[in-house]
Amino acid sequence: MVKTSSPGKLMLFGDHSVVHGRPCIVTAVDYRMNASLSERRDDIIVLNAPDMNIENYVSSIKDLEKPQPKQARFVLTSVRNFFDKYGIRSGLDIETKSEFRVEYGLGSSSAVTASVLKGLSELFDVRMSNKDLFDLSYKTILDIQEVGSGFDAAATIYGGSLYFVTGGRVIEPIKAKELPIIVGHTGVKADTSKMVKMVYQRLAEEPERINRNFDESAKIVDRARRGIEEGNWKEVGMLMDQNQVLLREIGVSSDVLENLITAAKKAGAYGAKLAGAGGGDCMISIADKKNYENVKNAIEDAGGKFIDVKLNADGVRIEK
């Protein structure tokens, strides 16, 4: 049996523009997805995923090409793509277990994909670099979701904090000793695919305006990278505010997000913005030690939920 785990992710800068060829900054978070894999002597794949209400779901290898239940899709598509790429066929017992709630929007789909692929590479003694693992994870995600940049797959595989450009054209670590970021959840589940497709539509309708927005986002990302590496949190907060203005302009913010962002800033945060697709899920803010607790409490007083999560987590790994 092989056991693996991989972290969730949190977008810090460059939301949405990264889907359209611009850079972003993403960090891995210490809520992990665990997977256990072992070989079988038949051609059956048995999946147990209690967090997704899947118990003893059975699929044969030949049925991997057929549509799969939504809850099992990322695991079984990962298996299919691995088998197809490396010419392997084997029955499997797979069990996954998550340390984080799916509704937080912290990248459970990418995390389970990476955990399963890493486990398969170990189980069948296939040497895969992080880039190999990223490429196959990204393909798997696109096979299912059709759209996406791959930043979430990069975060869960490489870990730490990353400067990332669409499709993995650039994946570079950012040296960040600390990230005094406060994460708040709106209580509203975001529909990532819907939001991404909406921005595609706006880009088609107003290409000049939206591309100008994305170009400004790219400039902010580059400045934020320097600010993070230098520990200049006032600068990073100001850039969060500027990035949020751009996200508002393309229509991905929401009243519930704006409410938490406003509360955080009134409580002394240097800056705040949504984190991810928008519409719901998480917002982030940054504050000095003096105001950290004030900001955290303000988010909860405004109806949000503080998520106690550590950033810069380790990437996908084999567990003993």
- Domain CATH code at residue 25: 3.30.230.10
The parent domain of residue 165 ranges over 2-175+312-319
| Continuous H helices in 97-232 | 108-123, 130-145, 151-158, 192-205, 207-230
Of 42, 51, 132, 152, the catalytic one is: 152
Percent above pLDDT 90 for the chain: 84
pLDDT digits (tens, 9 = 90+) for 14-24: 999 999 999 99
| Residues 25, 133 share a domain | yes
| Residues 235, 186 share a domain | yes
Residue 104 has phi, psi (to 5 degrees) of -70, -20
- Domain CATH code at residue 279: 3.30.70.890
* pTM recorded for the entire structure: 0.94
pLDDT at 273 over 60: yes
Going by C-alpha positions, the residue among 4, 79, 14 that lies closest to residue 276 is: 14
pLDDT-based confidence at residue 43 (cuts at 50, 70, 90):
very high
pLDDT-based confidence at residue 106 (cuts at 50, 70, 90):
low
* Count of domains for the chain: 2
CA distance 236 to 219: 13
The pLDDT of residue 274 = 97
| Residues 154, 62 share a domain | yes
pLDDT at 184 over 90: yes
| Residues 227, 159 share a domain | no
| Residues 229, 149 share a domain | no
For residues 121-150, give the mean pLDDT: 94
The pLDDT of residue 67 = 87
| Cα 229–chain centre separation | 21
The pLDDT of residue 165 = 97
| Residues 58, 195 share a domain | no
> Is 152 labeled as catalytic in the residue annotation?
yes
pLDDT at 298 over 80: yes
The pLDDT of residue 235 = 98
| Residues 136, 23 share a domain | yes
Percent above pLDDT 70 for the chain: 98
pLDDT at 102 over 90: no
CA distance 105 to 84: 30
| Residues 160, 51 share a domain | yes
**Most confident residue range from 57-66, 101-110, 213-222:** 213-222
